[in-house]
Amino acid sequence: MDEQILENIPALPPHQYPLWVKLFGVSIIIATIYSLILLPEYLVAAKKMRAAQIAYQSGNYDESIQLYSYVLETVPTSKAARIGVAEAIFSNSDKSDDEVGLTLLQGITLDKDTWARIMRVMPVEYQQYFGDVKQ
């Protein structure tokens, strides 16, 4: 008897999602695939960033500069890499590239601790180009 009742009920039409929902879903899939494609490059950059920090701490400034430069090629907007390479440039014995370090710091807001760290290695004549740090 239940089968006869079910046979008389018309089937529901298949649901159709609006076009904007479909496009949004496709854009999420594309963004995910794009992120997965870039992931290995960013992982390598993260490893090189850590290696650059270790090289700087051990006093190997030239290697640190090379590693930070690789990170900046991969992620040009990396504030930590720009600060790190500038710090390594100011710390190395070659004073001819100090202007490059100054250029890398251009447009970056430094917190109090970072400024103190940079100020220890930055030549005194370049410190005048920076304003006071606000707390």
Structure confidence at residue 1 as a pLDDT band (50, 70, 90): low
| Residue with the larger pLDDT of the pair 58 and 105 | 58
Residue 34 has pLDDT above 90, yes or no: yes
Residues 6+ apart with CB under 8 A from 70: 45, 48
Q: Tell me, what's the pLDDT at 64?
A: 95
Q: Region 1-7: what's the mean pLDDT?
A: 68
Residue 133 has pLDDT above 60, yes or no: no
Residue 92: per-residue pLDDT: 85
Residue bearing the bigger pLDDT, 74 or 7: 74
The domain 19-127 is placed in CATH, from the list 1.25.40, 1.10.760, 1.10.260, 2.70.98, at 1.25.40
Q: Would you list the domain boundaries of the chain?
A: 19-127
R_g of the chain computed on alpha carbons: 27
Percent of the chain with pLDDT over 90: 52
- DSSP H or E segment with residue 63: helix 61-74
* Chain segment 67-91, per-residue pLDDT in tens: 999 999 999 999 999 999 999 998 8
What pLDDT band is residue 66 in, cutting at 50, 70 and 90? Answer: very high
- How far CA 89 is from CA of 13, 52, 58, in Å, comes to 68, 12, 14
The first and second tokens of residue 107, run together, are 């447009």
Q: Are 128 and 103 in contact (CB under 8 A)?
A: no
Tokens of 67: 């590693």
Model pLDDT, residue 11: 73
